[in-house]
Amino acid sequence: MNRRFFLASATAFTIASLIGNKVNAMEKIIQKLSLSDAQWQKKLTPEQYNILRDEGTEPSRSSALNNEKRKGIFHCAGCELELFSSENKYESGTGWPSFWQPISKNAIETKTDFKMVWPRTEYHCARCGGHQGHVFNDGPKPTGKRYCNNGLALIFKPTNKKDT
């Protein structure tokens, strides 16, 4: 009985430790990037700066990424963190690139935005804090979410080398 208890406890401890290490590894992958305002202005175009740093919004239907159909990954234009997969992109009819889920739950951070009359959920890149867009509860299954993203806040990298 004691031997079984010891083996079960040791196994449970090992599994918990491995899961904990995997979670810690995921947390370490997304290390914060902090640049000065002058560094951001040098790194980004004025339009990107307005969106990523001043939480602006580009005009609807102005981004070429809205019509992007190739397989690939959408990265933050500020720090190139992977944010969305083309597999999770869909046509929302809003005029902005839309996704039903981020590539990882750790890739984005949210906050409540009161700039309009009603509260909205705004999301940012978890690494650099760059404003990406807003998330709404009117998206497709399986999540029911619509991550409505500014195209200028993203860089698309196709996974097929011949598509570059």
Q: In whole angstroms, what is the distance from residue 143 CA to residue 22 CA? A: 24
Choice among 76, 79, 128, 148 that is catalytic: 148
Whole-angstrom distance between the N-terminal and C-terminal Cα of the chain? 62
10 Å Cβ neighbour count for 108? 22
- What is the DSSP-derived secondary structure letter of residue 16? H
Question: Is 148 annotated as catalytic?
Answer: yes
Tell me if residue 120 falls in helix, strand or coil: strand
- Using DSSP's 3-state secondary structure scheme, residue 31 falls into coil
Decide if 10 contacts 17 (C-beta within 8 A): no
CA distance 39 to 162: 33
150: tokens are 């500014």
Residues classed as catalytic: 148
